[in-house]
């Protein structure tokens, strides 16, 4: 790299640390920072105390369409888009900032974040590659994540028309039982 400066390297390292702390995987770090492949795993281990996970990233767009991930993904991409249009920030900065705002939303509502930073990043990339897009819900007007190149003239979002089994996972049932037991005791 021509004109390699210590200042820019320090900035890149700081960015990488921030990303790692928010759960970024190596593929994301390799794509978004200029640090070398040898240094990133070392940095990762130093920040998190464990070796980075191996293997490929999930590459299917379908995950973002299923009910609960879709709500979270839609919220995230709406925040991201807001930042792009109004705050005029770009790239990984926008991705990370939108992710922090999304985490804040989850924390303030005591909801478990479904999206990880790596997922959020791939979501943005899917949007850039035009594999996914948003479409307005005909009932509430909110913008939701959908596959590109399909017809959505009568689209109703997963929050206006909640599927009957939505949110009824094993985990939710166990939590409900635990609360019930607590009350009984």
CB of 129 to another protein, least distance (A): 22
Rounded to whole angstroms, the Cα distance separating 75 from 80 reads 9
Interacting span for another protein (CB under 8 A) from 13-21, 31-39, 41-49, 139-147: 139-147
**Residue carrying the six token digits 């900065």:** 93
CA dihedral 52, 53, 59, 60 (to 10 degrees): -130
Q: Does 101 help bind another protein (rule: CB under 8 A)?
A: yes
Q: Which of 42, 48, 66, 111 binds another protein (CB under 8 A)?
A: 111
Q: Does 140 help bind another protein (rule: CB under 8 A)?
A: yes
Q: What is the per-residue DSSP string for 43-88?
A: HHHHHHSSPPP-SPPP--SGGGTSHHHHHHHHHHHHHHHHIIIII-
Q: Which of 62, 141, 165, 183 binds another protein (CB under 8 A)?
A: 141
Tokens at residue 71, please?
């709500």
Summarize as ranges the residues that interact with another protein (CB under 8 A).
71-72, 74-75, 78-79, 81-83, 86-89, 93-94, 97, 100-101, 105, 109-111, 140-144, 159, 162, 167
């Amino acid at each position: 790299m021509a004109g390699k400066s210590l200042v820019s390297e320090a900035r890149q390292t700081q960015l990488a640390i921030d990303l790692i702390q928010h759960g970024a995987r190596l593929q994301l770090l390799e794509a978004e920072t200029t640090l070398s492949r040898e240094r990133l795993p070392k940095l990762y281990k130093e920040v998190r105390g464990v070796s980075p996970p191996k293997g490929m990233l999930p590459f299917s767009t379908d995950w973002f369409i299923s009910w609960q991930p879709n709500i979270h993904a839609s919220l995230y991409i709406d925040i991201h888009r807001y930042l792009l249009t109004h705050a005029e920030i770009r790239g990984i900065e926008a991705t990370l900032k939108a992710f922090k705002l999304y985490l804040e939303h989850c924390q303030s509502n005591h909801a478990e974040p479904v999206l990880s930073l790596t997922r959020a990043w791939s979501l943005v990339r899917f949007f850039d590659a035009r594999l996914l897009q948003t479409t307005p819900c005909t009932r509430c007007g909110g913008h939701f994540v959908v596959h590109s190149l399909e017809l959505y003239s009568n689209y109703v979002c997963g929050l206006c028309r909640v599927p009957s089994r939505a949110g009824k996972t094993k985990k939710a049932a166990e939590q409900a039982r635990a609360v019930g037991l607590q009350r009984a005791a």
